[in-house]
Chains A and B, each alone.
Chain A
């Protein structure tokens, strides 16, 4: 899940297992949500997005679930691989482009061999 301060929450999973990363968003007016992956020394990389009129969207090995009732977003990664090790951010956009994207603090995903 998300946290504030210097310490990122960490999720450690075994290679081959499924990973679930959670995110709570704050703005009920947000209508577009994105998951980004950031590897060390690189900028965030788009993984998958979802609009507020959907509650589930699937990509290659990834699924995003959106629960607007409790303002919760999750990213599921199937059959986790070593290359999935990174910090994962959720981001929300309240629509109309105002204030750009609002990012969560991130979750550090560690893959154990």
Chain B
């Protein structure tokens, strides 16, 4: 079956703009987690959605938000973009909530560049 897909793959924005990234999980998976990957900070957890509800949230400012739809597809939004938001944004899906013995499958990521 198809893996996790993310759109767009590449995005260039300017400071102050907002951006919306999309993630389609593996069919049947109900949990979607978002991560930010940068050379300096590595992979950092943003938030997790399960059954359209945000279950967990990492240590990111309120400019970072997300949502999940009834078909489990998820979007994340970053408002008032800053240069430091330039990163690879990864989405991961799993069958149940992120937790013990629950493998997460990652998408290829969206490369966001803020100018």
A interface with B by C-beta (< 8 Å):
5-6, 31-32, 34, 36, 41-46, 49, 51, 89, 91, 93, 95-106
Contact = CB atoms under 8 A, between A and B. Distances in A.
B90 A100 contact: no
5 contacts: A5-B40, A43-B90, A100-B56, A100-B58, A101-B33
Interface of B: 4, 33, 35, 39-40, 42-48, 55-56, 58, 90, 92, 97-109
Contact of B106 (A45, A100, A105): A45
A105 B37 CA distance: 10
Interface of A is mostly: loop
B94 to A, nearest CB: 10
A93 B100 contact: yes
Given A31-B100, A43-B109, A97 B42 contact: no
Nearest to B107: A43
Contacts of B45: 99-102
A51 B90 contact: no
Given A32-B101, A46-B104, A97-B97, 15 more contacts: A6-B39, A44-B90, A44-B106, A46-B105, A93-B99, A97-B55, A100-B35, A100-B47, A100-B58, A100-B98, A101-B35, A101-B43, A101-B98, A102-B45, A103-B43
